[in-house]
């Protein structure tokens, strides 16, 4: 059969039906519930600060907190490396990780020890987002986990690993998209 032989006449709709949409309260509830689910490999998330409502964004080569408006990547693919979580920018295919100054960046193309994350649920809601800590970069001497916090640098809110737990760490929500 060729394209010329296809019947292009309209088919009348003989059934009358209505598509039902759930009430806005139900739709809002289902969206809110997704913020309380932990991240899982194979899913994509927006990572949002509970205290500020801002989201982790990849803008002009930097990881910042943003209102989610503008030209920034705010979606993160959750990936797995031997049980460790990682978060990858789908546009650049680069992973969130940290450098020697403990600032979070998005440069790595491979999921290695500097891109390892885990989450810990907090009583009352939200999660701590934690990263591996190594004292000796060359020998990868394991020191434990450190939570992510927020630092203001040149007027931008940036993500950093912090040494204090409750006092400086941020609480996060993972919104599945």
What is the model's pLDDT at position 143? 74
Which residue segment(s) compose the domain that 48 sits in? 43-176
Q: Does any domain span residue 24?
A: no
Per the structure, the count of domains in the chain is 1
- With pLDDT > 90 as the criterion, what percentage of the chain qualifies? 46
Query: Does residue 58 lie in a domain region?
Result: yes
Instruction: For 55-91, give the DSSP string.
Output: EEEEETTEEEEE-S-SS-B-EEEEEEETTEEEEE-TT
- pLDDT, tens only, 56-81: 999 988 899 999 877 789 999 999 99
pLDDT bin (cut points 50, 70, 90) of residue 140 is low
What confidence tier does 14 reach under pLDDT thresholds 50, 70, 90?
Answer: very low
CATH number, residue 56: 2.80.10.50
Classify 151 as helix, strand or coil.
strand
């Amino acid at each position: 059969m060729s394209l010329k032989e296809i019947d292009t006449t309209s088919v009348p709709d003989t059934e009358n039906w209505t598509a039902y949409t759930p009430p806005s309260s139900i739709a809002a509830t289902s969206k809110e519930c997704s913020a309380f689910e932990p991240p899982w490999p194979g899913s994509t998330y927006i990572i949002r600060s509970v205290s500020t409502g801002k989201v982790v964004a990849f803008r002009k080569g930097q990881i910042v907190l943003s209102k989610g408006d503008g030209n920034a990547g705010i979606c993160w693919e959750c990936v797995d490396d031997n049980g460790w979580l990682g978060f990858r920018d789908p546009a650049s295919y680069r992973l969130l990780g940290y450098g020697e100054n403990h600032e979070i960046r998005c440069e790595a193309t491979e999921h290695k020890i500097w891109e390892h994350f885990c989450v810990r649920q907090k009583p009352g809601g939200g999660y701590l987002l934690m990263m591996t800590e190594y004292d000796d970069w060359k020998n990868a001497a394991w020191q434990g986990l450190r939570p992510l916090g927020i630092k203001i640098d040149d007027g931008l809110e940036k993500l950093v690993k912090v040494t204090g737990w409750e006092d400086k760490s941020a609480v996060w929500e993972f919104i599945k998209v």
